[in-house]
Amino acid sequence: MPTVALGLLLALGLQAGAPAASEAGAQPGSGAPARVLAWLEEADASLGGAPAGDPAGATGWIDTAKLPTLITALLFGLLMFRYQRRAARGVEIPIRRIPGLDAIDEAIGRATEMGRPVLYVPGIDEIKEIQTIYSMMILRHVARKTAEFGTTLIVPVRDSIVMTFAEEAVKGGCMDAGRPDAFVKDNIRYLSNEQFAYCAGVAGIMAREKPAANLMLGMFFAESLILAETGFMSGAIQVAGTAKQHQLPFFVAACDYTIMGEEYFAVTAYLTREPNLLGTIRAGDVLKILAVALLVAGIVLATVHALSADPAAPGWADVLRKLLAAGGGGGSA
């Protein structure tokens, strides 16, 4: 965990300007935190940092209020590229198996038992949306499974470019399963470009071909509700997944299993072992733990200080807040 210690040191060691010095800490008290705060503010002024209350007033070559953002970006970049290189060299980055993946395999298994098709909806956004690209990777995994079990796989799409990517993914999946003949081109169907007409098309497939498993993975908008409801009514086992939180409530309420938020990226990383993605997720985890460490330290310091004899004087929590360029001291979190 040397990187975490390094990160902590970096964030605490380097000084940073603050757009608005916390009112509580303004007057120089006697304690050590007050001296540190005074030294930080004086260093700010010498570097031409933005004076308090005027975030856009920086005159120096670097806007000191933005140093924490620079440190965070550099730290994250270093970690990401380091882990990407290690992953590319084959060093095992342990990524926990998301239960959602088991739900997908279970759904495909049930569909095979009942001899009915699997329906895969890759979201309704274009290919430039990152979730649609990752949905293609998950589709390849699903296509491999359905090819192995000899189950029909239907992929309705809303965008002609996504259709070509979906065909590639399913063809690749069939190849992975060693059954190139399992690929059926007209099971990848372009229904309509209009949101609700697309849902009507998917509902038609559910009614006519009665898929036993509905997999809905990708970027969804207001129509997620209609797809989840129609799928539930057709009696299919449903697994949904999207990174955008606004559609998750409806998927959780109407589907058997939901892959939520960042789990969506973890599922893709688990399936594809793609170094870039593994490196990003690992670096993200480290930064989250660093953020939690900073939070806990700050809260403990702030609480101890608030209970101390002289809560008005600046405490170490105010130093930490200044280092993170946070706003005024008052107000709830």
Partner 1 sequence: MASVIANFDRRWIFLAVGLLVVSLYAAGISSELPESEYVRDFHATLEALPPGAIVLLSADFDPASAAELLPMYQGVIHHLFARDLRIVNVATWPAAPPFTQKEFARIAPLYGKTYGVDWVELGFLPGDDVAMGSIGQSLRSAYPRDDRRTSWADLPLLADVGDNMRGISLLITASAGYPGILEWIAQVGGRYDVTLLAGTTAVQTPDLFAFYPLQLKGFLGAATGATQYLQLAAPLAARLPTGEGALDEVRDENQRRMLVQSWAHILILALIVVGNVIYFRTRVPTGAARR
Partner 2 sequence: MKREIPILLTVLCGLAVTWSFFSPVGVSSAMNAELLDWAQVFFSVAFLLGIANLVRISLKQVTAGHADSPYKLVMLAVLFGYLLAGLAEIHGWLPAAFTEEHGNKALRNWGHAKIFVPLQATMFSLLAFYIASAAFRAFRARSLEATLLLTAGAVVMLGQVPIGDELTGGWASRALAFLMVHVNGAGQKAIIMGATLGVLATGLRIVLGIERSYLSE
Partner 3 sequence: MMPPLLQVPPSFFSLDSSAPPDVLGGWIACFLTLAVFSFLYRDNPFYKLAEHVFIGLGTAYFALQYYEQGVLQKLQTHIVDASVLETVKLGGHEVPADVAIGLRAAAVVLSGMLLLRLVAPSSWAPRWPLAIMVGVYAALKMTGETQSKLVLLVGNSIQPIVSSEALPFGPDVRIEQTALWFTATKLIYYIGLICVLGHFVFTFRRTRTLAAVSRIGVVTLMITFGSMFGFTVLGRIALLIERVAMLKDYTAPEYALAGGTQAGLLATVLSPPVLLTVLMVALLALGALRRRERSPGPA
Query: Out of 51, 109, 284, 328, which residue is the one contacting partner 2 (CB under 8 A)?
Result: 284
Contact partner at residue 5 from partner 3, partner 1, partner 2, none, CB < 5 to 8 Å by partner kind: none
- 48-51: long-range contacts, CB 8 A cutoff, minimum separation 24: 49/17, 50/17, 50/19
Q: How far is the CB of 66 from partner 3 (least distance, A)?
A: 6
Q: Quick one: tokens of 215?
A: 């997999």
Query: Out of 28, 246, 300, 311, which residue is the one contacting partner 1 (CB under 8 A)?
Result: 246
Q: Judged by CB under 8 A, which stretch of 50-58, 85-93, 198-206, 262-270 contacts partner 1? A: 50-58
Strands ordered across the beta sheet of 188-190:
188-190, 153-157, 118-121, 213-217, 237-242, 257-260
Contact (CB, 8 A) for 183 and 150: no
Q: Which residues bind partner 3 (CB under 8 A)?
A: 66, 68-69, 72-73, 93-96, 98, 194, 196-197, 200, 245-246, 248-250, 252-253, 260-263, 266, 269, 278, 281-282, 285, 288-289, 291-292, 294-296, 298-299, 301-303, 305-307, 311, 317, 320-321, 324-327, 331-333
Mention every residue, 6+ apart, whose C-beta is less than 8 A from residue 129: 123, 218, 219
Is 269 a binding residue for partner 1 by CB under 8 A? The answer is no
Query: Out of 16, 155, 216, 237, which residue is the one contacting partner 1 (CB under 8 A)?
Result: 237
Q: How far is the CB of 213 from partner 2 (least distance, A)?
A: 16
Is 46 a binding residue for partner 2 by CB under 8 A? The answer is no
Distance, in Å, from the CA atom of 20 to the CA atom of 55, rounded to the nearest integer, reads 8
Is 23 a binding residue for partner 1 by CB under 8 A? The answer is no
Distance, in Å, from the CA atom of 186 to the CA atom of 205, rounded to the nearest integer, reads 13
Distance, in Å, from the CA atom of 14 to the CA atom of 40, rounded to the nearest integer, reads 10
Residue closer to partner 2 (CB basis): 74 or 312:
74
What Cα–Cα distance (Å) separates residue 238 from each residue in 105, 121, 193, 201, 212?
A: 11, 11, 24, 18, 9
Mention every residue, 6+ apart, whose C-beta is less than 8 A from residue 241: 100, 138, 216, 217, 218, 251, 258, 259, 260, 263, 264, 267
Contact partner at residue 98 from partner 3, partner 1, partner 2, none, CB < 5 to 8 Å by partner kind: partner 3
Distance, in Å, from the CA atom of 156 to the CA atom of 121, rounded to the nearest integer, reads 6
Q: How far is the CB of 249 from partner 3 (least distance, A)?
A: 4
Contact partner at residue 29 from partner 3, partner 1, partner 2, none, CB < 5 to 8 Å by partner kind: none
Contact partner at residue 184 from partner 3, partner 2, partner 1, none, CB < 5 to 8 Å by partner kind: none
Is 26 a binding residue for partner 2 by CB under 8 A? The answer is no
Query: Out of 56, 89, 92, 208, which residue is the one contacting partner 2 (CB under 8 A)?
Result: 56
Complete DSSP assignment for 205-248: HHHHH--SEEEEES---TTHHHHHHHHHHTT-EEEEEES-GGGH
Mention every residue, 6+ apart, whose C-beta is less than 8 A from residue 1: none
Give the H/E segment covering residue 200: helix 195-209
* Residues lying near partner 1 in the complex (CB under 8 A): 19, 53-57, 233, 235, 237, 246, 256-257, 326-328, 331-332
* Residues lying near partner 2 in the complex (CB under 8 A): 56, 58-63, 66, 69-70, 72-73, 76-77, 80, 127-128, 130, 133, 160-161, 193, 196, 222, 225-226, 228-229, 232-233, 243, 245, 249-250, 252-254, 256, 261-262, 265, 276, 280, 283-284, 287-288, 291, 332-333
